[in-house]
Amino acid sequence: MWIPTSIGLVIFAFSSGMFTAQIYGVDVDVGKFWRKKIERLAVRYWFLLACVAILLLAEGKTVFHWHSLVHVFGLSGFLNLFGHNASALGAGLWFFTLLLLFYVAYPFLARLAAAGRGDFLYPLVATVVFFWLNDHVVLPFSLWLTALGFILGVFAGMYGTQIPARVSLGLTIVALVVLLASNLVFGFKVANGALVGLACITTNLWLMRARLPQWGILRALAKLENCLLEIFLIHTYLFVHPTGINALDFVITMTLIIVTAWILNILGNKLVQLVFSKPASAGVRVPG
């Protein structure tokens, strides 16, 4: 599952960078920018951490530890990089830390992208650097490719892409086929990072130009956008194996996660409405 997981993380990061660039552009009012982030993310984030903490305490796990304060401030990624997390909180929260760092860096990235005037040089240099880091500074999570997704998303948000959807989709398929063949047939793993990185980038380029079919199931999935933050924060705590049959347990787990996330999203938005004394948006987005 590490291949689709990596691609999914980069899609999330890329779309966050792209939509941020489209919404805020180059001239960013930093104060207004962060006020919107606090309204959209902070209250719901702390509410979700409190819910997870209650669940963990009920299971008898460690929550009262100073590492939990690190998670409360959204800095879990630094624990992942420089030490062992002694709190039961914090599973998967390295991404939230990276999201905060991206928001801090966004004004600089936006000016850099604008200075490039659509030149391909800056995105190319960033891709080479982060591909190198992905291969030579190995971490137990997809930090480098995800960070690259944010950067490329900003450039894509400002300048779009001229690559036809069929070309980028073809490159994605080729990258994945070569990746699977090299591993399963030849046992060759040296190019794994580059091939996964290529598939991540070309998948996003395809999604920018593709026209997806308007199937009911895709419309239903699109509605989950509202509770992406909830899904992200709670999913690792709700894996269940009631039947011992992997496929069935996966369906049960996903149903549990989605239903729980949907309920928490409704409650979290009501809390946002209460704190800021205004109607909570029905379309609160994590990426923007």
Identify whether the C-beta of residue 265 lies closer than 8 Å to the C-beta of residue 230.
yes
pLDDT reported for residue 284: 45
3-state secondary structure 37-86: HHHHHHHHHHHHHHHHHHHHHHCCCCCCCHHHHHHHCCCHHHHHHHCCCC
CA 253 from centroid of its chain's CA atoms: 20
Query: What token pair was written down for 20?
Result: 């941020």
User: In this predicted model, what pLDDT tens digit does every residue of 105-141 receive, in sequence order?
Assistant: 999 999 999 988 878 889 999 999 999 999 999 888 8
pLDDT reported for residue 278: 58
User: In this predicted model, what pLDDT tens digit does every residue of 17-47 receive, in sequence order?
Assistant: 999 999 998 988 888 899 888 888 999 999 9
Residue 182: strand, helix, or coil? helix
* pTM for the full predicted model: 0.87
pLDDT reported for residue 92: 83
Residue 261, C-beta contacts closer than 8 angstroms, at least 6 positions apart: 224, 227, 230, 231, 234, 235
H/E stretch holding 246 reads: helix 246-276
Residue spans of the domains in the chain: they are: 2-160
d(CA 6, CA 194): 12
pLDDT reported for residue 245: 93
